[in-house]
Amino acid sequence: MENSKEGNIMEKKKKEIVKMLLNQNLEEKDEEEILDLLINNPITIDVDKENDKKMTIGDKVADKFSSIAGSWTFIILFCLFLIVWVIINFLMASKAIDPYPFILLNLLLSCLASLQAPIIMMSQNRQAKKDTIRNKNDYNTDLKSELILESLHDDLEIIQQNQKQIMKYLKNLEDKNNK
């Protein structure tokens, strides 16, 4: 119960942060909170793991089928099957299962194509969704890196200003000592 409350609070906080980032309504205090939140909390996800958790049996079958049907092994074996089909039916001549013009073979090829295309498209659609998630993840990572770099840049500027002040102070001390 407490974890879900914390999750809701974090979700609200994240939404507020996004709104602030989009509107650029950031005060210095807000910037510090955002940096602390982003630095201390991982924002990247393993897209493949997340996707694998959500895969249905149909998705797994479509992916496996696509990987087999889109391979050179499948193409070579299917070409061999076609060649053997034609040779057997020519050799058997009058007793052939599917004599020339190979109407049964044509039907088999049409059925294969009509089933193969949608299955491959299902797999490609899932891959496109996975790519979208990966792109969002990359954007979040880039945003986090940019915010961290901006913070580091600001810190470096402060260090440089302090260093200049120290150098001025040391030079003034040296000048006083030389007089």
Can you give the three-state secondary structure of the chain, one letter per residue?
CHHHHHHHHHHHHHHHHHHHHHHCCCCHHHHHHHHHHHHHCCCCCCHHHHHHHHCCHHHHHHHHHHHHHCCHHHHHHHHHHHHHHHHHHHHHHHHCCCCCCCHHHHHHHHHHHHHHHHHHHHHHHHHHHHHHHHHHHHHHHHHHHHHHHHHHHHHHHHHHHHHHHHHHHHHHHHHHHHC
Measured CA to CA in angstroms, residue 122 lies from 95, 108, 117, 118 at distances of: 41, 22, 9, 6
pLDDT at site 4: 55
The yes-or-no verdict on residue 77 having pLDDT over 80 is yes
pLDDT band at 61 (very low <50, low <70, confident <90, very high): confident
15-29, 68-82, 137-151, 161-175: least confidently modelled range = 15-29
Cα 45 versus chain centre, distance = 9
Give the model's confidence band at 8: pLDDT under 50 very low, under 70 low, under 90 confident, else very high.
low
Label residue 1 by pLDDT band (50, 70, 90).
Answer: very low
Q: What is the pLDDT of residue 156?
A: 92
Mean pLDDT of 59-84: 89
pLDDT > 60? residue 6: no
Residues 48/144, Cβ–Cβ less than 8 Å? no
A 10 A CB-CB count for 96 gives 14
- Number of Cβ within a 10 Å radius of residue 62: 21
Q: Which pTM does this prediction carry? A: 0.51
